[in-house]
Amino acid sequence: MAHKTKDEILHDHNNDGVDRRGFLKCMAWAGTGAFCVLQGGVLKSYSMSRLAEMNPENMKGELSFVQISDSHMGFNKPANPDVAATLQVAVDKINALSAPPEFLLHTGDISHLSKPEEFDSVEQILKSASAKDVFYVPGEHDVLNDDGKQYHERFGKGAQPGGWYSFEKKGVHFVGLVNVMNLKAGGLGTLGNEQLEWLEKDVKHLKSSTPIIVFAHIPLWTVYPEWGWGTEDSAQALAYLKKFGSVTVLNGHIHQTMQKVEGNVTFHTACSTAFPQPKPGEAPSPGPMKVPAEQLRSVLGITDVNYVAGQHALAVVDSTLA
């Protein structure tokens, strides 16, 4: 079996230094974020260092929102003893964006230990964001000890009993999924039959030209099963989305940015606002990475997403907190 050498580019269709296979290696560390445009199911990716060459008008659209993830409020160990401060920096970053986002998506692990005061702190800090609406999905750290009862009471209003929901914004159909409940020994994230049936019905009536954005905590593609970084039954969920020309999947959980394109679907994971985790397989375990204090903010971040109507285009911009 031939192995390609590290960082070798096999197919550089977009002349952007990133090939499709290479997306798994396209991890935005230390300020080397990616700016992505999805056109007719094809993602173009530019490194952040080339953003200066881009026309800022291309980043504007009918709809823009910001994804934040993994705030882990309550975590207090190296390398980040103050996760409230870094969440506040993320909010300041959001408030400084030239195109103010209409709302925020939080892709889970809001809290570290599901404590009421941890949820309180996050809600309090996010109140200072220019965007007032926050759409949440739970991470496994948000449903500890009580099967998610507290999470559902706080954040699940208007959602299905299991916590999943959908909504429309300017012609874009958003679906928030829950894949952190009822996890089985030895397994990955799970959506479950009830949620899959709901999803099938939820998208059935939509035109295939409707842009779809799915967000959930654990990646809906298999990033690294050895560390549980994937979802058992995500293939079934994606099968219901096959007819759509533009599907974007936004996840958290792995505390680093990663992108992948598969047919009409673009997958994207966001940075944590709390602490970084190692690249797949590059440490004995996925535990928190300890980085020098001066480097911490360069490995935390937010994701800004812009949608331009008529172009089927999503511009996904990761920026660090540095």
Task: Please report, as ranges, the residues that interact with another protein according to CB under 8 A.
Answer: 77-78, 112-114, 140-141, 144-145, 183-188, 225-228, 284-288
Instruction: Name the DSSP class of 13.
Output: T
Instruction: Give residue for tokens 């959930």.
Output: 216
Nearer to another protein, 9 or 283 (CB): 283
Q: Do 197 and 155 touch, CB atoms closer than 8 A?
A: no
Q: In the bound complex, what is the minimum distance in angstroms from residue 111's beta carbon to another protein?
A: 11
Do you find a cis peptide bond into 309, omega within 30 degrees of 0?
no
Q: In the bound complex, what is the minimum distance in angstroms from residue 153's beta carbon to another protein?
A: 18
Q: In the bound complex, what is the minimum distance in angstroms from residue 183's beta carbon to another protein?
A: 4
Strand ranges of the sheet holding 301-308, from the earlier edge strand across to the other edge? 42-47, 34-39, 313-320, 301-308, 63-68, 103-106, 133-136
Q: In the bound complex, what is the minimum distance in angstroms from residue 145's beta carbon to another protein?
A: 6
Q: Kindly give, in sequence order, each residue whose CB lies less than 8 Å from that of residue 160, ignoring residues fewer than 6 positions away.
A: 195, 198
Half-sphere exposure of 24 (CA within 13 A, CB side): 11
Q: 290-294: long-range contacts at Cβ-Cβ below 8 A with a sequence spacing of 24 or more?
A: 290/78, 290/79, 291/79, 292/79, 293/79
Q: Do 41 and 246 touch, CB atoms closer than 8 A?
A: yes
Q: Kindly give, in sequence order, each residue whose CB lies less than 8 Å from that of residue 5, ignoring residues fewer than 6 positions away.
A: none
Nearer to another protein, 24 or 113 (CB): 113
Q: In the bound complex, what is the minimum distance in angstroms from residue 286's beta carbon to another protein?
A: 6
Q: In the bound complex, what is the minimum distance in angstroms from residue 118's beta carbon to another protein?
A: 12
Nearer to another protein, 37 or 291 (CB): 291
**Cα–Cα distance measured from residue 141 to residue 275, given in angstroms and rounded to the nearest whole number:** 14
**Cα–Cα distance measured from residue 252 to residue 271, given in angstroms and rounded to the nearest whole number:** 7
Nearer to another protein, 80 or 195 (CB): 80
Nearer to another protein, 163 or 228 (CB): 228
Nearer to another protein, 47 or 222 (CB): 222
Q: In the bound complex, what is the minimum distance in angstroms from residue 292's beta carbon to another protein?
A: 17
Nearer to another protein, 34 or 218 (CB): 218
